Structure 1
């Protein structure tokens, strides 16, 4: 139908120009129309191919970001899990750390108590040592009162012969042991001094002195040894 319509239009144009259309004009017009129609097909094909390529590229580009987004989401989820695990571990660790200082503080407090109590125990010890150094005669007197001390002349002859001679030249007695003194064999002596190698002056009494000789303790009167 389109061919016929085109032929009619051309015939009318030729009539308007004063020409009468014939069969050739009608056939040529139809051929021209057909050639014009053929020339447009390659352009349509190229356009369709380009559209297909554009569509394919578009779909590919849209698919790749989704995969990237999925990877990013997976990474974020893994990081969140790791952070949650770390937070849980951090919550447990402070409890153990806070418990340790409490124990150490208790131990340190007990150590401090022991350290403070140690000097308190040392002071009496030091005072006792001083008392021993200052007043040994007092303890000797206490021991003498508890033990039986023989008189010099109550000893056996063999014991008296072994004891060196004792000659008293001066005798000073006082309630303070530090102020007591005696002169024996021309030697000024105080309590605790050695008269000879085995003879020790232990205590000066009101009426004489107490000696020790080879483990034997005896009292020697001043009147008996006074010269």
Structure 2
């Protein structure tokens, strides 16, 4: 009997398979999806997920950033400059010193100013011992108003009693201006030579 039932079942199944579909039959759609489309969908979904994660992380950091910057640092109190008395200017103090303290340069000219030294007292000159009284008086009356000495003899000159003289000139009653020295002159009369200092016989203004 089992063989007969099996044979009947097989015949029924074969009939069902060869039966044309009716209105009540359910049609299944063939699976037309290819592997390439599935890969594209996977990649697209991964990109969307990564974008969502990036947005979440960005919002988290953006929410925390204001908290850190919100803490303001109190500015240090500015110290006002203390206005006090200005220290005395040493330069002004120095400039107020009397100008007389500064040494003035000595002026060298043909007409030197009156010497500071006092004229020494007249002492007997051994060079004038053999001279006559008249010649001695004439020599003692000599007054210098200018005295120029130079290494070059042609540049040397003196003014005696208002008369300009050079070496070799005669003046007075036969007096000879023999030499012009740094300190004065040497006057000769006959065979006698008498040195005369400019400072001792400088003319008073």
Q: Give the number of the structure with larger relative contact order, counting CA–CA contacts within 8 Å between residues 6 or more apart.
A: 2
TM-score under structure 1 length normalisation: 0.31
Please state which structure has a larger fraction of its residues in helix: 1
TM-score under structure 2 length normalisation: 0.34
